[in-house]
Structure formats: C-alpha cells, structure tokens
Amino acid sequence: MEQSHVVQPGRGSEGSDEDSCNVSRVRKLLFRRMLVGVNDGRFFLGAFHCIDKQGNIVLQDAVEYRTTRRSSHSPMDTRCLGLILIPSSCRSSCHVDCSIEEQLSLLSLEKSE
C-alpha cells in the first residue's frame, strides 16, 4: 500500500461543482485495492466498490485481518468475506493503493483547493 488518501463524502448542495468534483475523485478510486481499518483493530482489504453520502464504504472480494493476541508479534487471522459494508462510524483509517505519480497528482490537487 503506497497511498494514504481518505475518502470523505461531499458536503455541498446537490448539483454543485463541489459534488461533481467529489464524484470524479471517487470514480478514480473504483476497483482500486483499499485497506480499511476499524475501531476494534481489524483491517479489511478489498476492491473499492462504492461510498454513500454518509461515508459508508463497500468493498468487494474483501478479506478480514485480525490479530489473535494483543502482542505485536502474534500471527494474523484471515477470513474471506466477499462483499462488505463498513460504516463510517467504525472506520479508523483508509488507504488506497496507487502509484507514485498518482500520489503526486493528488498532492498538487489538494494544494490548489
């Protein structure tokens, strides 16, 4: 995972330029590998499928990763889940896999906004 880019739902009114900008940014993330962390320490890795206005994320072909013990050297348990919805209230982190060039272009977009 190279990129740490958090996806946030749009806050503007419907049909505004901000909404169309957010939609185009999210479309670029479709079917990318995404690693989402939740509050209880688990992580889910899957292909980004969609996000709703409340910020809930849907991943397809998702795999759950969790530690069996609290020590940092304990092995990770994995479980294949398929299509899952991760509520925004449970999400603690969100990372998208992308190239260095895409990271730099995202940084230049964020500076100009």
Structural domains in the chain plus CATH codes: 17-112 (2.30.30.100)
For residue 61, what pLDDT is reported?
98
CB 26 within 8 A of CB 63: no
Phi and psi, residue 89, nearest 5°? -70, -20
Give buried/exposed letters for 72-85 (b at 16+ CB in 10 A, else e).
eeeeeeeeeeeebe
Model pLDDT for residues 30-85, shown as the tens digit of each residue: 999 999 999 999 999 999 999 999 999 999 999 999 987 776 677 889 999 999 99
Model pLDDT for residues 91-105, shown as the tens digit of each residue: 999 999 988 888 777
